[in-house]
């Protein structure tokens, strides 16, 4: 995957940074002459790291940034290979130090060092031309949340399926509310699958007509005060004297949606829970949407709800709607192409919707090229036929991963899509490649298991029918 390839850079950079550090600190025996070179490289790597998040984000739309990332990544591999070469030399020469190596080996090492430093300098010089925003800048976060802001409004007639899912959630809530005053139910599933849409359908159901409603788009930036203020503002439209969640009129029925929760810090989640436990006879239903199974499980106080992908037929229905298929004279001809495209959506509503828009008023040969193209693996802004919005949306999940998890996931890209992978083998390969971080609590094998669970939780890996 071209995209993942470009995005992997930060993970690779972190790994190589670690490798350089351990070489400097003498874990790998080197001749002292090179310490300065390595220190210089380390500083350069650290300065680049601060801008990488922005670079990764922009790589979705800017080809030049993608090329720059690729160049940086290749330079990282080069550094890593050279350090591995030193390591092999020093192991081979056992107690001998670098000065005992042959003159030609010394020369080669010195040349390699110079070349790598030069290449790294060139790459970092270029990064100034892109005016990347540093990781700490608030611009990055603002853009994310404003892009994805949601509201409770939904055009129910345009929604395909999800009747059964809505029914199941309503049934669960009505049953639990008989015995529980405070319910938190999280809907989880992969990006774009329709979690927010399902939450909208439930939130707007007549069953909650008498409830005091509040809809909060939490987003990637978790701000407890903002969440609280937003809830109070919305609830006070119906209960004007309400200025605090601790002092509410007695016996209220409240329904709150916390849409798009990404925070997985247990402490912060517990604080939020505490705030929402309103008391004073209130019955409170909290519906949460998140991509992350572990957040869903941690935050819910009833069984979280796993939202499954749509069927291919449903995706086809969405494509038909968005492309105004029924009004076309050539629809008989297009039908089988459209169904092939629908299959490629993998049950993701957002994919079907994006493609539907793209196919609108396109000729039959253009439908064919969408079906046959590689848009599923890459995206460029110059290519307006690419479902770029969809990829950018799914990429958010990837960008949130820890660097080592990115590496492990990136490694899975060597397997063809749909390939069955034996879990223990995969973990073993990650360990051998040194992709797993070190921990004082867990063994590499245990951490590998945790990574597999996290990737499964984010739907980046799937259980196969025969285990995995």
Ligand X SMILES: Nc1ncnc2c1ncn2[C@@H]1O[C@H](COP(=O)(O)OP(=O)(O)OP(=O)(O)O)[C@@H](O)[C@H]1O
Q: Which residues bind ligand X (CB under 6 A)?
A: 158-162, 191-197, 260, 289, 291, 310, 318, 349-350, 353, 393
Compute how many residues bind Mg ion; rule: CB under 5 A.
3
Instruction: Find the binding residues for Mg ion in span 17-56 (CB under 5 A).
Output: none
Q: Quick one: what does residue 403 bind among ligand X, Mg ion, none, with the CB cut-off 5 to 8 Å set by partner type?
A: none
Q: Quick one: what does residue 393 bind among ligand X, Mg ion, none, with the CB cut-off 5 to 8 Å set by partner type?
A: ligand X
Residue 376's Cβ-side half-sphere holds a number of Cα atoms within 13 Å equal to 14
Secondary structure (DSSP) of 426-459: HHHHHHHTT-SPP-SSS-HHHHHHHHHHHHHHTT
Strand order through the sheet with 305-306: 212-219, 253-261, 283-290, 182-188, 305-306
Query: Are 387 and 380 within 8 A, CB to CB?
Result: no
Query: Least distance to Mg ion from the beta carbon of 456, Å?
Result: 20
Q: Closer to ligand X at the Cβ: 7 or 318?
A: 318
Q: Closer to ligand X at the Cβ: 55 or 349?
A: 349
Query: Least distance to ligand X from the beta carbon of 392, Å?
Result: 10
DSSP state of 194: S
Tokens of 384: 């307006």
Tokens of 40: 């210089």
Tokens of 389: 């919005």
Query: Least distance to Mg ion from the beta carbon of 352, Å?
Result: 15
Query: Least distance to Mg ion from the beta carbon of 350, Å?
Result: 9
Q: Quick one: what does residue 350 bind among ligand X, Mg ion, none, with the CB cut-off 5 to 8 Å set by partner type?
A: ligand X
Q: Closer to ligand X at the Cβ: 337 or 351?
A: 351
Q: Closer to ligand X at the Cβ: 311 or 446?
A: 311
Q: Closer to ligand X at the Cβ: 19 or 289?
A: 289
- What residue ranges in 262-369 does DSSP mark as E strands? 283-290, 305-306
Query: Least distance to Mg ion from the beta carbon of 260, Å?
Result: 5
Torsion of CA 125, 127, 130, 133, to 10 degrees: -130
Query: Least distance to ligand X from the beta carbon of 105, Å?
Result: 53
Residue among 185, 190, 184, 233 at smallest CA distance from 212: 233
Please report whether residue 196 would count as binding Mg ion according to CB under 5 A.
yes
Query: Least distance to Mg ion from the beta carbon of 259, Å?
Result: 6
User: What Å distances lie between residue 67 and 2, 50, 374, CA to CA?
Assistant: 11, 18, 18
Query: Are 123 and 75 within 8 A, CB to CB?
Result: yes
Q: Closer to Mg ion at the Cβ: 260 or 454?
A: 260
Tokens of 437: 């971080």
Q: Closer to ligand X at the Cβ: 120 or 307?
A: 307
Q: Which residues contribute to the site for Mg ion (CB under 5 A)?
A: 195-196, 260
């Amino acid at each position: 995957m071209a995209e993942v390839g470009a995005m992997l850079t930060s993970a690779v950079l972190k790994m190589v940074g670690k490798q350089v550090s351990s070489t400097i600190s003498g874990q790998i025996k080197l001749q002292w002459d090179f310490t300065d070179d390595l220190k210089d490289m380390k500083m350069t790597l650290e300065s680049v790291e601060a801008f990488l998040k922005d670079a990764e984000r922009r790589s979705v739309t800017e080809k030049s940034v993608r090329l720059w990332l690729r160049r940086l990544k290749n330079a990282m591999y080069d550094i890593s290979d050279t350090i591995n070469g030193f390591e092999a030399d020093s192991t081979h020469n056992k107690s001998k130090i670098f000065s005992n190596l042959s003159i030609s080996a010394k020369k080669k090492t010195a040349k390699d060092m110079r070349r790598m430093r030069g290449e790294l300098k060139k790459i970092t010089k270029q990064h100034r031309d892109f005016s990347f925003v540093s990781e700490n800048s608030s611009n990055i976060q603002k853009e994310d949340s404003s892009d994805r802001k949601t509201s409770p409004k939904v055009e129910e007639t345009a929604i395909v399926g999800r009747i059964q899912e809505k029914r199941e959630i309503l049934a669960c809530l009505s049953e639990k509310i008989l015995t529980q005053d405070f319910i938190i139910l999280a809907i989880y599933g992969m990006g774009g699958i329709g979690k927010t849409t399902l939450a909208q359908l439930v939130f707007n159901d007549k069953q909650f007509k008498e409830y005091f409603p509040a809809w909060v788009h939490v987003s990637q930036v978790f701000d407890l005060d903002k969440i609280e203020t937003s809830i109070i503002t919305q609830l006070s439209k119906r209960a004007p004297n309400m200025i605090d969640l601790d002092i509410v009129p007695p016996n209220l029925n409240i329904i709150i949606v916390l849409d798009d929760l990404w925070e997985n810090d247990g402490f912060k989640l517990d604080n939020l829970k505490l705030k929402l436990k309103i008391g004073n006879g209130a019955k409170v239903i909290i519906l949460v949407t998140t991509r992350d199974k572990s957040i869903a499980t941690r935050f819910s106080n009833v069984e979280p709800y796993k939202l499954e992908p749509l069927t291919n037929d449903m995706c086809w229905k969405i494509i038909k709607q968005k492309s105004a298929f029924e009004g076309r004279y050539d629809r008989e001809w297009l039908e089988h192409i459209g169904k092939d495209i629908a299959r490629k959506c993998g049950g993701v509503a957002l994919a079907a919707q994006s493609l539907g828009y793209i196919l609108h008023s396109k000729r039959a040969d253009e439908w064919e090229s969408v079906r046959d193209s590689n848009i599923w693996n890459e995206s460029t802004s110059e290519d307006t036929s690419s479902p770029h919005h969809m990829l950018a949306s799914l990429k958010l999940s990837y960008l949130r991963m820890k660097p080592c998890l990115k590496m492990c996931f990136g490694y899975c890209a060597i397997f063809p899509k749909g390939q069955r992978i034996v879990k223990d083998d995969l973990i073993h390969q990650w360990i051998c490649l040194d992709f797993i971080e070190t921990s004082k609590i867990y063994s590499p094998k245990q951490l590998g298991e945790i990574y597999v669970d996290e990737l499964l939780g984010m739907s980046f890996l799937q259980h196969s029918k025969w285990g995995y």
